């Protein structure tokens, strides 16, 4: 909705209207300013942002995507950059620094104040995709022996630079996490009560080396605003907030979607990924799947397909496609169930799924088979080809559905992302097995590979 | 992690240990109790829950999936049910009632207190998937003329039954939304300041008939805890909270994933969807795609494929699969870009995407084509088949990649969900066009359809 202001901004840039650009920073919500600045070039965006107050710059900057942030960083002078890094939220700052060239980071760090520098080095040291790498160190914490009234006074001092003050963590002298309070509970308490009387002692926390997806799912499951992150000795080291959790869940969903379509997950958005990266992330799968297709061609060779009746070839793509379609459906559903429903693989559940797929694909295969019987009969005017095509469709749909369900379960039990069992991969497997089924059914119905003697 | 307690619960159920079951409700976090109860049958879960205090029952109940909630509702006596409905959060309550048989709802409503009844009827009246259907009416609101000190006193009274008190909406006598305050700002303010002095006057809100996905994306984009929902005259009617937004975004991602695999989106999880529903949601696409395959068979008939050389048939699945794989990759990437990146379709962006796909698929097609040249040469020991196969692979990869990008853009511009351009659908289109390309390339290279004269 703010896009309407884009022409105004472009005019200011053309006229080099510094006063106007300064007002642009101040007058709008940071998110709105960011939205409009994304529409101009990074150079133009930086011309505007360099005129903003540093606080406002930090707020707007937080709404940009990482690739755009990196482009801006390369345009900044060292003074702006060091101020920006000091003021940014610690988790966003680490995300940004991880994207920069390590040499560049080492040259920037001396510009940053001592306290932030230690924090940056520590957060950078946690392994990628761990709770430690996504947490922020700006949490609100209080000791247990103060009163509610004192708590409010201390929170008032902590408020300006904490990510959230609505969840308050109670720690002892050694920073051990011993309790938890919501702001709501604090507001409802009497001013003279001690925090130790009203705090919840059983705190749900995550370990600093926990996988980020598990952390995000916990925040989502419990409906938390944030979850505390602790080290081996239960010392509070940070928090992960709900908005970061949402971003992680969206990223994971997008990764799954890309894997399902046989693309190695991209780190950036489609339009900001370079052609070479796209070629690599797609090429690796295209070659692998081509290998599977060569196998199908090799198998077809044995059936001397070229010497078969025309109808047998006519319906070859149809029977293979039926299998591919059915397999892609069951794979997608089972993969979503494994990812989303926190499906813990017990023997019983796996069997239940395979049972369902067997029953369901028998129903679907039988009806799709009947329709293809009619189609084959109409196109060839003969009964026996129709019998071959429809029986094959039935068998291939059942085989593909069960394989589409079984393979994700299998790789999941080997602790591999089930989304690697992509639609094209299932289709490639169906091609190989489908060809064998098809020619063998034809042999059974005709007693020979039509129209030749064995 | 709480699963370890399941054997204890099963023992309590076997021994009908009512005291133990009551403790089970009280001793654990509601989310943990819910997690364990999901492992026993609905009948057993209800035996435990019926012994819980009503407040605790409501808290645990909120963690169940809708299908499980519906099963429990059917087991409940009317007293429990009416109390539960009165105490539930208004948005969750409406979600549940929408799942029940309308006659059943009408028989339950008289049991519910007058105030809740009016609220239920109102929320039930908003169209499905609108902001109105997902909002809650339990928001914190205050008039503008009171002081910060008075505000805290009023919030203390509102706190127990508000979904959030961390966002406070300022309304006038006619409930018009005129301002907004965070709890953080309230804590930082001086007690004697008037709310009108410290409130933000420009409030980002959504209309009650706005699409729920748009609402969820706004909450996500701005990192809000909640967004206010207003009617035509800017009167505050409810709020949508961040946890509901996350659920919506996850549901939408799952829907997209299912559409991409040619499954009509399921309303429930895979395991709790009935076989008949699954058969219907999958069958409709299988039949449609079968129709496309019949078209491929019909086209193949014209090329008298059965009278061609063996090698031509051998590599038919390979060239079709190459196209299907490349098309599925570009379709998945473009669909994600359209959905996730709030991609507003301008002519320039669409052209940019198609340009990228053309260039990228030429690179990918050329390299995959070269590998298939080698494979075809090795398998047939002849040069000309290898030329036909590799040229076709090149053309089919380019055609499929561009089509896989263009079709989602096209349907998106017609305001249809681009995810309908599923992998199997792209593969089906590639089959038809791929067959035509393949036989025509063979004709060009050999001057005839091998090995016969035209």
Q: What is the pLDDT of residue A172?
A: 92
Q: What is the pLDDT of residue B304?
A: 67
Both A203 and A279 in one domain: the answer is: no
Residue A389 to residue A395: CA distance in whole angstroms = 10
> Mean of the pLDDT values across residues A362-375?
92
Q: For strand A177-182 and strand A164-171, is the pairing parallel, antiparallel, or unpaired?
A: antiparallel
Both B298 and B432 in one domain: the answer is: yes
Average pLDDT, chain B: 86
Question: Which residues of B, range 398-417, sit inside 8 Å of A by Cβ?
Answer: none
Q: How far is A442 from chain B (nearest CA, A)?
A: 14
Q: What is the pLDDT of residue B160?
A: 81
Number of domains within chain A: 3
Q: What is the pLDDT of residue A453?
A: 38
Task: For chain A, say whether B258 makes contact (Cβ under 8 Å).
Answer: yes
Phi (first) and psi of residue A378, to 5 degrees = -65, -40
Q: What is the pLDDT of residue A206?
A: 94
The residue ranking higher by pLDDT, A342 or B45, is: B45
Both A290 and A423 in one domain: the answer is: yes
List the single residue in B287, B312, B379 with the smallest CB-CB distance to A301: B379
Per the structure block, which two tokens stand in for B131? 């902001």
Per the structure block, which two tokens stand in for B45? 């879960």
Q: Angle formed by the axes of helices B54-61 and B78-87, to 10°? A: 70
Q: What is the pLDDT of residue A307?
A: 62
Residue B5 to residue A347: CA distance in whole angstroms = 20
> Mean of the pLDDT values across residues A344-360?
81
Q: What is the pLDDT of residue A370?
A: 92
Task: Answer yes or no: is B262 within a domain.
Answer: no
The answer to whether the beta carbons of residues B312 and B385 sit under 8 Å apart is: yes
Q: What is the pLDDT of residue A143?
A: 94
Residue A333: which residues within 8 A CB-CB, separation 6 or more? A405, B258, B261, B263, B266, B270, B278
Q: SS3 string of chain A?
A: CHHHHHHHHHHHHHHCCHHHHHHHHHHCCHHHHHHHHCCCCHHHHHHHHCCCCHHHHHHHHCCCCHHHHHHHHHHCCHHHHHHHHHHCCHHHHHHHHHHCCHHHHHHHHHHCCHHHHHHHHHHHCCCCCEHHHHCECCEEEECCCCEHHHHHHHHHHHHHHCCEEEEEEEECCCCEEEEEEEHHHHHHCCCCCEHHHHCECCCCCEECCCEHHHHHHHHHHHCCCEEEEECCCCEEEEEEEHHHHHHHHHHHHHHHHHHHCCCCCCCCCHHHCCHHHHHHHHHHHHHHHHHHHHHHHHHHHHCCHHHCCHHHHHCHHHHHHHHHHHHHHHHHHHHHHHHHCCCCCCHHHHHHHHHHHHHHHHHHHHHHHHHHHHHHHHHHCCHHHHHHHHHHHHHHHHHHHHHHHHHHHHHHHCCCCHHHCCHHHHHHHHHHHHHHHHHHHHHHHHCCCCCCCC
Both B303 and B410 in one domain: the answer is: yes
Per the structure block, which two tokens stand in for A427? 């289709």
pTM above 0.90, yes or no: no
Place of tokens 């699963």: B3
What domain range includes position A198?
139-249
Q: What is the pLDDT of residue A286?
A: 86
- The angle at the Cα of B329, spanning A245 to B248, to the nearest 5 degrees, equals 30
Q: Is B44 exposed, middle or buried (0-12, 13-18, 19+ CB in 10 A)?
A: middle
Contacts with B435 from chain A: Cβ below 8 Å: 317
Per the structure block, which two tokens stand in for A152? 């409010």
Both B219 and B165 in one domain: the answer is: yes
Helix (H) or strand (E) holding B168: strand B164-171
CB contact under 8 A, B333 and A279: no
Task: Answer yes or no: is A132 within a domain.
Answer: no
Task: Answer yes or no: is B67 within a domain.
Answer: yes
Q: Which range has the top average pLDDT, A62-76, A290-304, B89-103, B365-379?
A: B365-379
What's the farthest any 2 CA atoms get from each other in chain B? 98
Residue A44: which residues within 8 A CB-CB, separation 6 or more? A13
Both A61 and A204 in one domain: the answer is: no
Write down the ipTM of this complex: 0.74
Both A203 and A173 in one domain: the answer is: yes
The answer to whether the beta carbons of residues B117 and B217 sit under 8 Å apart is: no
CATH classification at residue B167:
3.10.580.10
Task: For chain B, say whether A6 makes contact (Cβ under 8 Å).
Answer: no
Domain boundary among A216, A249, A282: A249
**Is the model's pLDDT at B95 over the cut of 70?**
yes
Distance of CA B268 to the CA centre of its chain: 11
Both A143 and A216 in one domain: the answer is: yes
B379 → chain A, closest CA residue: A298
**Is the model's pLDDT at A300 over the cut of 90?**
no
**Is the model's pLDDT at B117 over the cut of 80?**
no
Task: For chain A, say whether B12 makes contact (Cβ under 8 Å).
Answer: no
Condensed to tens digits (0 to 9), the pLDDT of residues B256-279 reads 888 888 888 888 778 778 888 888
For residue B419, the 8-state DSSP code is: G
CB contact under 8 A, A352 and B427: no
| Range name among A79-93, B179-193, B311-325, B358-372 with the lowest pLDDT average | A79-93
Condensed to tens digits (0 to 9), the pLDDT of residues A182-204 reads 999 999 899 999 999 999 998 99
List the single residue in B269, B309, B332 with the smallest CB-CB distance to A306: B309
Task: Answer yes or no: is B256 within a domain.
Answer: no
Condensed to tens digits (0 to 9), the pLDDT of residues B230-240 reads 998 999 999 99
Q: Which range has the top average pLDDT, A137-141, B14-18, B176-180?
A: B176-180
**Is the model's pLDDT at B306 over the cut of 70?**
no
The answer to whether the beta carbons of residues B131 and B212 sit under 8 Å apart is: yes
Contacts with A283 from chain B: Cβ below 8 Å: 364, 367-368
Condensed to tens digits (0 to 9), the pLDDT of residues A54-67 reads 888 888 898 888 88
Q: What is the pLDDT of residue A5?
A: 78
CB contact under 8 A, A435 and B313: no
Task: For chain B, say whether A155 makes contact (Cβ under 8 Å).
Answer: yes
Condensed to tens digits (0 to 9), the pLDDT of residues B186-232 reads 998 999 999 999 999 989 999 999 999 889 988 988 889 999 999 98
Domain boundary among B68, B103, B125: B125
List the single residue in B275, B317, B397 with the smallest CB-CB distance to A356: B275
Both A276 and A399 in one domain: the answer is: yes
Task: For chain B, say whether A117 makes contact (Cβ under 8 Å).
Answer: no
Per the structure block, which two tokens stand in for A180? 């938890």
Residue A5: which residues within 8 A CB-CB, separation 6 or more? A28, A36
| Range name among A111-125, A365-379, B336-350 with the lowest pLDDT average | B336-350
Task: For chain A, say whether B5 makes contact (Cβ under 8 Å).
Answer: no
Both B354 and B386 in one domain: the answer is: yes
**Is the model's pLDDT at B325 over the cut of 70?**
yes
Confidence of residue B254 (pLDDT cuts 50, 70, 90): confident
Q: What is the pLDDT of residue B1?
A: 53
Q: What is the pLDDT of residue A112?
A: 75
List the single residue in A223, A340, A427 with the smallest CB-CB distance to B321: A427
Residue A118 to residue A103: CA distance in whole angstroms = 17
Per the structure block, which two tokens stand in for A398? 């059942």
Task: Answer yes or no: is B270 within a domain.
Answer: no
Confidence of residue B346 (pLDDT cuts 50, 70, 90): low
Which residues are paired to B206 by β-bridges? B229
Q: Angle formed by the axes of helices B316-340 and A275-302, to 10°? A: 150
**Is the model's pLDDT at B340 over the cut of 80?**
no
Condensed to tens digits (0 to 9), the pLDDT of residues B30-87 reads 888 888 888 888 888 888 888 888 888 888 898 888 888 888 888 888 788 888 888 8
Question: Which residues of B, range 316-375, sit inside 8 Å of A by Cβ?
Answer: 316-318, 320-322, 324-326, 328-329, 331-334, 336-337, 340-341, 344, 349, 352-353, 356, 359-360, 363-364, 367-368, 371-372, 375
- The angle at the Cα of B26, spanning B20 to B28, to the nearest 5 degrees, equals 100
Task: Answer yes or no: is A215 within a domain.
Answer: yes
The residue ranking higher by pLDDT, B142 or A287, is: B142
Q: What is the pLDDT of residue A454?
A: 33
Residue A379: which residues within 8 A CB-CB, separation 6 or more? A311, A314, B294, B297, B298, B301
Q: Is A384 exposed, middle or buried (0-12, 13-18, 19+ CB in 10 A)?
A: middle
Q: What is the pLDDT of residue A340?
A: 67
Place of tokens 């950036």: A268
Q: What is the pLDDT of residue B360?
A: 92
Residue B263 to residue A58: CA distance in whole angstroms = 44
For residue B410, the 8-state DSSP code is: H
CATH classification at residue A99:
1.25.60.10
> Mean of the pLDDT values across residues A313-339?
89
Q: What is the pLDDT of residue A106?
A: 77
Task: Answer yes or no: is A254 within a domain.
Answer: no
List the single residue in B187, B336, B435 with the smallest CB-CB distance to A254: B336
List the single residue in A304, A313, A321 with the smallest CB-CB distance to B289: A321
CATH classification at residue B305:
1.10.357.20
DSSP per-residue string spanning B339-386:
HHTT----HHHHHHHHHHHHHHHHHHHHHHHHHHHHHHHHHH--HHHH
Contacts with A423 from chain B: Cβ below 8 Å: 260-261, 328, 423-424
Residue A214: which residues within 8 A CB-CB, separation 6 or more? A206
The answer to whether the beta carbons of residues B367 and A283 sit under 8 Å apart is: yes
**Is the model's pLDDT at B342 over the cut of 80?**
no
CB contact under 8 A, B334 and A245: no
The answer to whether the beta carbons of residues A69 and A61 sit under 8 Å apart is: yes
Q: What is the pLDDT of residue B260?
A: 86
Condensed to tens digits (0 to 9), the pLDDT of residues A112-149 reads 777 777 777 777 788 888 898 888 888 999 999 999 99
Task: Answer yes or no: is B267 within a domain.
Answer: no
The answer to whether the beta carbons of residues A227 and A215 sit under 8 Å apart is: yes
The answer to whether the beta carbons of residues A214 and A206 sit under 8 Å apart is: yes
Q: Which of A39, A168, A318, A374 would best serve as a mutation to test chain B binding (most B beta carbons within 10 A)? A: A318
Q: What is the pLDDT of residue B453?
A: 38
Confidence of residue B344 (pLDDT cuts 50, 70, 90): low
Q: What is the pLDDT of residue B93?
A: 84
Residue A61 to residue A49: CA distance in whole angstroms = 9
Place of tokens 């090795």: B378
Tell me how far CA of residue A242 lies from CA of A93, A215, B185, B227, in angstroms. Answer: 18, 10, 20, 15
Per the structure block, which two tokens stand in for A213? 């997806």
Residue B247: which residues within 8 A CB-CB, separation 6 or more? none
Per the structure block, which two tokens stand in for B291? 């129709």
The answer to whether the beta carbons of residues A309 and A448 sit under 8 Å apart is: no
The answer to whether the beta carbons of residues B398 and B364 sit under 8 Å apart is: no
Place of tokens 């993969």: A335
B343 → chain A, closest CA residue: A271
Report the b/e string of B230-262 with b at 16+ CB within 10 A: bbeebebbbbbbbbbbbebbbbbbbbbbbbbbb
Both B90 and B193 in one domain: the answer is: no
The answer to whether the beta carbons of residues B228 and B141 sit under 8 Å apart is: no
**Is the model's pLDDT at B418 over the cut of 50?**
yes
**Is the model's pLDDT at B394 over the cut of 90?**
yes
Phi (first) and psi of residue A421, to 5 degrees = -80, 70
Domain boundary among A93, A125, A157: A125
Both A292 and A423 in one domain: the answer is: yes
Report the b/e string of B143-170 with b at 16+ CB within 10 A: bbebbbebbbeebeebbeebbbbbbbbb
């Amino acid at each position: 909705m703010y896009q309407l202001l884009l022409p105004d901004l472009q005019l200011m840039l053309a006229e080099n209207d510094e006063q106007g650009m300064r007002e642009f920073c101040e007058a709008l919500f940071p998110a709105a300013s960011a939205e409009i600045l994304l529409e101009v070039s990074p150079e133009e965006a930086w011309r505007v942002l360099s005129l903003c107050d540093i606080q406002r710059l930090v707020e707007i900057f937080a709404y940009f995507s990482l690739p755009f942030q990196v482009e801006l960083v390369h345009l900044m002078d060292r003074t702006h950059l060091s101020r920006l890094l000091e003021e940014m939220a610690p988790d966003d700052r680490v995300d940004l620094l991880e994207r920069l060239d390590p040499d560049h980071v080492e040259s920037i760090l001396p510009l940053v104040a001592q306290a932030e520098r230690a924090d940056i080095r520590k957060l950078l040291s946690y392994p990628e995709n761990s709770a430690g790498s996504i947490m922020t160190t700006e949490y609100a914490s209080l000791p247990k022996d103060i009163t509610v009234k004192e708590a409010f006074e201390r929170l008032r001092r902590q408020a300006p630079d904490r990510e959230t003050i609505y969840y308050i963590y109670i720690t002892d002298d050694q920073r051990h996490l011993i309790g938890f309070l919501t702001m709501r509970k604090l507001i409802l308490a009497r001013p003279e009560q001690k925090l130790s009387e009203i705090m919840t002692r059983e705190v749900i926390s995550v370990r600093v080396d926990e996988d980020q997806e598990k952390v995000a799912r916990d925040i989502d499951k419990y409906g938390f605003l944030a979850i505390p992150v602790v080290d081996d000795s239960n010392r509070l080291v940070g928090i992960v907030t709900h908005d970061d959790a949402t971003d992680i869940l969206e990223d994971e969903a997008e990764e799954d979607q890309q894997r399902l379509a046989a693309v190695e997950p991209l780190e950036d958005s489609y339009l900001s990924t370079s052609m070479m990266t796209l070629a690599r992330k797609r090429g690796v799968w295209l070659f692998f799947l081509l290998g599977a297709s060569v196998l199908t061609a090799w198998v077809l060779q044995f059936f001397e397909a070229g010497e078969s009746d025309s109808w047998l070839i006519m319906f070859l793509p149809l029977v293979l496609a039926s299998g591919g379609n059915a397999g892609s459906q069951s794979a997608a559903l089972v993969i979503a169930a494994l990812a989303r429903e926190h499906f813990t693989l017990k023997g019983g559940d796996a069997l239940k799924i395979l049972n369902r797929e067997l029953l369901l694909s028998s129903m679907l295969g039988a009806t799709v088979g009947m329709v293809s019987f009619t189609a084959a009969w109409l196109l060839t005017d003969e009964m026996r080809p129709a019998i071959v095509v429809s029986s094959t469709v039935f068998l291939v749909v059942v085989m593909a559905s069960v394989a589409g369900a079984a393979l994700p379960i299998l790789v999941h039990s080997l602790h591999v992302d089930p989304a690697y069992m992509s639609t094209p991969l299932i289709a490639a497997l169906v091609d190989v097995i489908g060809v064998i089924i098809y020619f063998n059914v034809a042999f059974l119905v005709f007693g020979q590979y039509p129209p030749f003697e064995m």
